[in-house]
Structure 1
């Protein structure tokens, strides 16, 4: 079964069409199953809550907080866990035009990565019923951020390794001296070149990844905000709140209430 654009199984709670994107939020009941199907267009999906098993040519377990890229006409079936699931789906209306204008290359195969802040910001904006032009901008930011990660745009080997180190161990202390020794590079060169290649200062990238890690805790646990802040490497709740608001335009507490409510 090949689904039309912006058509997904589950209970659609939001369906939007902006200037460049089709967006939908779908809820999936506990232990629900979706038969073999495909989608007419390539799309991104953030699993905002729940867990499911995807069956295709391989079997994959998709967990909360992961972002999927699925190529057009990719056949798969899904089986949700006893917690059900909430999916944020984004399609590009005209992906040939979009990729040309933004000098992006869509992955040639299905891909999966950890959730990124831009998509959580988009989810929050949709839940708050922000205007379509703002949602369209959030979609652009999400799509470009995800594609840059999937494609490793501009990365050189040591930059890629530093990013992997931070992504895999976001709560570990990052030592410039140790990185300098490991890669035989001057600390000043690491800092300058990392910004040139990634667009982020090293400190900004580390903060961004730690915020992504904290978002998942906000949504799956009942821990208080201060504990989550300290566990994710922030000085205190105030420091956490400032950085969270800078990236997602709201406080961690309000984000939790809007998304889980």
Structure 2
């Protein structure tokens, strides 16, 4: 099985930024299929454009724009790229970097398909820092990555069977039906929980209010749709459940730090 060294991915690399213990690459995938292999460092794969299927010993992930995976070091996996243009952003982390921030990497075993919108939005910010600040983005990237890994480790330490059943139901509804309009009564009935209990206890598990979480998911969906480059920003706004273009732009900027058109321009920077 092939062991890929630092900064090496199958495809055409547009840009590589090397920091102390971190390597960031912007790569266009060119191989229809990549057989089983592993990388010497732990790393994130963030799909910017297109689609890719990635499998490991336990699961297979169908990744589209906005999909975020984490692999611990030497985790075997394979890739299949459907027809069309596919572009990924990778962030490799050397072992001594984990030691430097006193975060043990053994808390992040195997491969993880990340759904937490807070972590995905942080990865968008890291990508944005590389395009705006370039090689001078070291401090921004290190700060954002430390927060990213801290949140990921916290999520990984929560066993799925320890979550209340209503949390799982609400989480599935919000993720699978992003863009639809819900009322508190509707969600509480579907989860089998009192509305007051839902409103009060939601933040204990998600660290934000129910409305804030739904807004993050809407913006995250908008980010992935923008990457597809198939719809206008107005069409994306309505598909994601925003009442109008100005509401979309305002929420997008509040959550992601810039407006939708600016994000679209960033994607064109190779």
Partners of 1:104 and 1:210 in 2: CA distance: 32
The runs of 5 or more residues in structure 2 that have no matched partner are none
Q: Which residue does 1:3 correspond to in 2?
A: 4
1:246 aligned to 2:248? no
1:69 aligned to 2:77? no
1:122 aligned to 2:126? yes
The secondary structure found in structure 2 opposite 1:83 is coil
Structure 1 residues 155 and 18: CA distance shift in structure 2, 3 A = farther
The secondary structure found in structure 2 opposite 1:213 is helix
Count of equivalent residues: 259
1:173 pairs with one of 166, 170, 181: 181
1:161 aligned to 2:169? yes
2:148 pairs with one of 118, 142, 162: 142
The runs of 5 or more residues in structure 1 that have no matched partner are none
Q: How far apart are residue 38 of structure 1 and its match? A: 0.8
Q: Which residue does 2:46 correspond to in 1?
A: 46
Q: Which residue does 2:217 correspond to in 1?
A: 209
Q: How far apart are residue 126 of structure 1 and its match? A: 1.5
Partners of 2:78 and 2:105 in 1: CA distance: 32
Asked if the contact 1:18/1:133 (under 8 Å) is kept, the reply is no
RMSD between superposed Cα atoms in Å? 3.0
TM-score normalised by structure 1 residue count: 0.84
TM-score normalised by structure 2 residue count: 0.81
Which whole-Å deviations, capped at 9, do the CAs of 1:114-140 have from their partners, x for residues lacking one?
Answer: 572222222222222352111222323
Asked if the contact 1:19/1:136 (under 8 Å) is kept, the reply is no
Q: How far apart are residue 8 of structure 1 and its match? A: 2.3
1:133 aligned to 2:139? yes
Asked if the contact 2:14/2:26 (under 8 Å) is kept, the reply is yes
Structure 1 residues 36 and 180: CA distance shift in structure 2, 3 A = closer
Q: How far apart are residue 7 of structure 1 and its match? A: 3.0
The secondary structure found in structure 2 opposite 1:200 is coil
Q: Which residue does 1:13 correspond to in 2?
A: 14
